[in-house]
Amino acid sequence: MALIKQVEINDKFITLGQFIKITDHISSGGEAKLFLYSHEVYVNNEKEDRRGRKLYHGDQIRIGSEVYQIC
């Protein structure tokens, strides 16, 4: 089982595009669409490709073998 990395946010939610930027998978928000097209990203075990998907406290995101949880 993969180690779950905690990602703390100060707002009610963040978008998936913001999330992949703050976790250093991309360097700018403009790269989010291409990243989601070329990588398998799962939110709460469902494949997701919408960069505007809202992520809330408790959501779990998997990118490759890395697993994150919003807290």
Q: What residues in the chain have per-residue pLDDT under 70?
A: 1-2
pLDDT confidence of residue 25? 93
**Domains in the chain with CATH codes:** 4-70 (3.10.290.10)
Distance CA 35, CA 58 (A): 23
Indicate the pTM of the whole model. Answer: 0.90
* Separation in Å, CA 1 to CA 4, 42, 60, 66, 71: 9, 16, 14, 10, 20
Per the listing, tokens 């807290």 go with 71
Q: Does the CA dihedral 16-31-63-67 come out positive or negative?
A: negative
